[in-house]
Structure 1
Amino acid sequence: MQGFAQGTSYHISFWSEAPINKEEIKAAVDSEFGRLDLLLSNYRPDSTIEQFNQVKNTESREVGSEIVSLVRTAAAVHKASGGCYDLTIKPLFDLWKFNTDKPQIPDQAAVRQTLNLIGMDELEVVDDTHLRKKQPGLQVDLSSIAQGYSVESIARILEQKGIRHYLVEIGGELKTRGHKPDSRPWRIAVEKPLPGEQMLQKVMTMPTETPLAIMTSGTYRHYFDDSGKRYSHILDARTGYPVTHDLVSVTVAHADPIQADAWSTALLCLGREEGLRTANAQAIPALFIEHKNNQLVESRSDPLNALTVLTIE
């Protein structure tokens, strides 16, 4: 099955030894995409997360267990990344106009002022279903973690239907379980991280015995150039400015698509050296690709080298 959802394309491949009703599965998948969109989308003013963003007070507000769970995961990644990764970066993203067709460089005073409006420490988890803003202007952007959650949610739908062999991909983020009908493993292509190209960088042969998610974040698709300098859409929440290092792509392999999604963004934000140290400390299997001197240079975290169930060619 394939189609469009969450502002991107999706592809789902699956098979089963037992008879399955494809139309029933398609209806369940479509319904789940609609539910997730109404819950997590920052582009819908009627979504749960945007309703929370629009409230300008410090009162506790019910957002549901799913959003609270995502915030808890993000808070842990935020802390482990030294604050580079931050769900409350939305006002900064809007300031740089990365949400439009014409992004632009804001003045330094505006950046400093906007930095006062962000901070994961200003977002309080009240209980399993409620969040509270400590600062009324706080806004939450779930885009760096919502796609991973969506992949996991669609995979869960398939498993509820008794399907044990599948590949679920949304906008390049994916999870596999099992194998193809001919017993061969799923094989995943990792794109060469260069603008304007769609060429093969690596092929990953997925495990057949255990589920695994592969999530990639990159600076090479969304950026703008100004006065000979390139500005990526990956913003460092500590500075208010786009990252300036040579790291252009991070691919994370993890059993949990939500963790993989958040960590791929966080490690990309940190850059190669700090990112590798953090990935090793947090046991995150990650492939780093830098663009240096017109060449692509790869580095792998120790946990990725130790991940024997995954073959990378």
Structure 2
Amino acid sequence: MRAYFSLLILLLFCACKEDNAGVVKNQTSGPALGTSYNIIYLTGESLDLKNEIDSVFAVVNRSLSTYIPTSDISKVNDGDSLVQVDHMFREVFELSKDINKKTGGYFDPTVGTLVNAWGFGPEHKIKLDSAKVDSLLKYVGFDKVSITTQNRIVKQNQNIYFDFNAIAKGYAIDRIAAMLDHKGIENYLVEVGGEIVAKGINKDKGKPWVVGIDDPQMKEGRKLKMLIHLQDRALASSGNYRKFRIDEATGKKYVHTIDPITGYTKDSNTLGVTILADNCATADAYATAFMAMDLEDAFKVVASNKKLEAYIIYLDESGETKEFLTQGFKKLVVK
């Protein structure tokens, strides 16, 4: 559905320090999920949670990473019908099923066969024509899979290939946030590859967390499009403006958004999407789906779901850049 690279988000924070009012700004960073993470958590004392954070990423990978042969999802994709997936797989499966229905099938983790075929996944790409795309579409559709009460996955065809990359990063961020909540930490900012969960406020500054959204039309370097306040919400972004593959033989550009309905890569007038939701997995999934959907359909989904806020950058019929912001999103923009 996309190459699973988010619209880059610039976090406005500095290095760890002990500030006034007894607030300690703890900061942890490192590699994870094929990208990097930066996490700030404010406490009354110095606290190092790097081992716990890395452990959460490891557990999520063992469940949902298609790049680890022994993960639950890899076993399911290899045709193991007896494997009992863990609770994380089940949670992501159930959430994916719900969002698949609400987006009219445009969010569909069973698109993995096509992701691989187009050369965007861990498997080898293949030469595609219309007949081959049509044949692969037989293996796409969330209505063709189910999960039993014993946490076993049932597939109508063993060639169906799950790819949760468009939701797994957001889910991992939610699991990190849950770990921080469990430890009683009330003010934190978790960022992984540009996707974010913010809780409480930037207490050492006495105001909400501030994050910046990059301009999607910058081909090189970075330029901020806007700043927003983020408090007790999750943010995820998607775009096909920078990440694409060039066919060596034809020179044709293939964007990293695959339309699960047609089976082809999507070349749309939507440049970038940023979604705010109650959790990052949900924001992640909708941001992906809106890149694959026609613009008007995306607007309708946003209007029908009061728990979502959206910022969509697109080109109108004359090629002019336009912006769509929900009222709730507008209220968060830093003036």
Report the equivalent of 1:252: 275
Report the equivalent of 2:310: 286
**Quick check: 1:186–1:205 contact (8 Å CA) kept in 2?**
yes
CA deviation vs aligned residue, 1:185-233 (integer Å, no higher than 9, x gap) = 11111111133342111111123xxx11110011123213455754211
Task: Answer yes or no: is 1:86 the counterpart of 2:111.
Answer: no
Report the equivalent of 2:97: 75
Cα separation, 2, equivalents of 1:104 and 1:202: 40
Distance change (3 Å), C-alpha of 1:136 and 1:282: same
Q: Within 5 Å, which residues of 2 pair with 1:157-196? A: 157-180=179-202, 181-194=204-217, 195-196=219-220
Distance change (3 Å), C-alpha of 1:103 and 1:123: closer
TM-score by length of 2: 0.84
Unaligned runs of 5+ in 1: none
1:213 to 207, 228, 234: 234
How many angstroms does 1:309 deviate by? Answer: 6.3
Cα separation, 1, equivalents of 2:245 and 2:160: 26
The more displaced of 98-107 and 272-281 is 98-107
Task: Answer yes or no: is 1:11 the counterpart of 2:38.
Answer: yes
2:79 to 46, 49, 55: 55
In structure 2, the residue corresponding to 1:182 is in which secondary structure? Answer: coil
CA deviation vs aligned residue, 1:230-264 (integer Å, no higher than 9, x gap) = 42111010000111211011100111111111111
Cα separation, 2, equivalents of 1:246 and 1:230: 15
How many angstroms does 1:64 deviate by? Answer: 1.6
The more displaced of 172-181 and 97-106 is 97-106
Q: Give the counterpart letter for 1:215 in structure 2.
A: A
In structure 2, the residue corresponding to 1:243 is in which secondary structure? Answer: coil
In structure 2, the residue corresponding to 1:277 is in which secondary structure? Answer: helix
The more displaced of 91-100 and 66-75 is 91-100
Q: Give the counterpart letter for 2:38 in structure 1.
A: H
How many angstroms does 1:159 deviate by? Answer: 1.8
1:123 to 145, 155, 161: 145
Q: Within 5 Å, which residues of 2 pair with 1:192-271? A: 192-194=215-217, 195-207=219-231, 211-225=232-246, 230-271=253-294
Report the equivalent of 2:134: 112
In structure 2, the residue corresponding to 1:92 is in which secondary structure? Answer: helix
Report the equivalent of 1:146: 168
In structure 2, the residue corresponding to 1:242 is in which secondary structure? Answer: coil
Q: Give the counterpart letter for 2:54 in structure 1.
A: D
TM-score by length of 1: 0.89
Aligned length in residues: 302
Report the equivalent of 1:95: 117
Distance change (3 Å), C-alpha of 1:92 and 1:157: same
Cα separation, 1, equivalents of 2:105 and 2:121: 22
CA deviation vs aligned residue, 1:23-60 (integer Å, no higher than 9, x gap) = xx11111111111111111111111111111116xx46
Unaligned runs of 5+ in 2: 1-27
**Quick check: 2:65–2:73 contact (8 Å CA) kept in 1?**
yes
Task: Answer yes or no: is 1:299 the counterpart of 2:329.
Answer: no
Distance change (3 Å), C-alpha of 1:310 and 1:70: same
In structure 2, the residue corresponding to 1:251 is in which secondary structure? Answer: strand
Q: Give the counterpart letter for 1:245 in structure 2.
A: S
Cα separation, 2, equivalents of 1:100 and 1:148: 20
**Quick check: 1:60–1:132 contact (8 Å CA) kept in 2?**
no
**Quick check: 1:279–1:286 contact (8 Å CA) kept in 2?**
yes
Q: Give the counterpart letter for 2:67 in structure 1.
A: Y
**Quick check: 1:68–1:131 contact (8 Å CA) kept in 2?**
no
**Quick check: 2:117–2:124 contact (8 Å CA) kept in 1?**
no
**Quick check: 1:39–1:47 contact (8 Å CA) kept in 2?**
yes
Cα separation, 2, equivalents of 1:286 and 1:102: 35
Q: Give the counterpart letter for 1:286 in structure 2.
A: A
The more displaced of 123-132 and 28-37 is 123-132
**Quick check: 2:112–2:121 contact (8 Å CA) kept in 1?**
no
Supply the RMSD in Å over aligned alpha carbons.
2.2
